Amino acid sequence: MKKLLDRPGCSAFLAETSVEAGEPLDTKIVAAIKRCDVFVLLWSHHAKQSEWVPQEIGIAKAIEKPIIPIVLHESATPTGFLKGTKYLPLYRDPNKGLNWLQQHVFEQATKKEQQSGLAWLALGAAFLWLFNQDARTR
């Protein structure tokens, strides 16, 4: 999954591969959730029984991150904070689901890059305006 999502302007955080041995999991995971634009959750029987996953979902919800639950098994129905959230049933058609996920996440990354570019453009325009105003008063 990480390979599918890692592209220019877009990176995935997986605790298993993104945290080095000896580093504190909790602070790394919380920091990654705070930095992310989209919280993509792989929901399975293991996730349902995990001590960490409900906390991670709670953190993402508390800071209002968009959450995309991806259900890996038909019998792994989302519970708790995810109840009532539309999920991607990857088990039905994995290729179609992964294509949708890639497109959606990359669209979010592209929008963010465009917004960031527009912000820099606006900042540049404001700077030029101030510079011109300063030049007129001299």
Sheet (strand 67-71) strand order: 39-43, 67-71, 88-89
Which range scores top for mean pLDDT: 46-55, 109-118, 121-130?
A: 46-55
Nearest to 14 by CA among 91, 3, 24: 3
C-alpha 110: how far from chain center = 13
pLDDT for 116 equals 54
- Give the chain's domain count: 1
Number of H helices, E strands in the chain: 6, 3
* Cα–Cα distance for residue pair 1/88, rounded to 1 Å: 14
Does this model's pTM top 0.85? My answer is no
pLDDT, average across residues 39-47: 87
In this structure, of 10-14, 60-64, 71-75, 134-138, the range with the lowest mean pLDDT score is 134-138
* Cα–Cα distance for residue pair 58/11, rounded to 1 Å: 22
Contact 109, 40 (CB under 8 A): no
The answer on pLDDT for 119 being more than 50 is no
DSSP 81: G
pLDDT, average across residues 34-57: 87
Residue 92: give the domain boundaries.
Answer: 2-137
Domain CATH code at residue 71? 3.40.50.10140
Percentage of the chain beyond pLDDT 90 is 9
pLDDT for 131 equals 47
pLDDT for 90 equals 87
Tell me the per-residue pLDDT of 101-115, one tens digit each, with 9 for 90 and over: 777 776 766 666 666
pLDDT for 48 equals 87
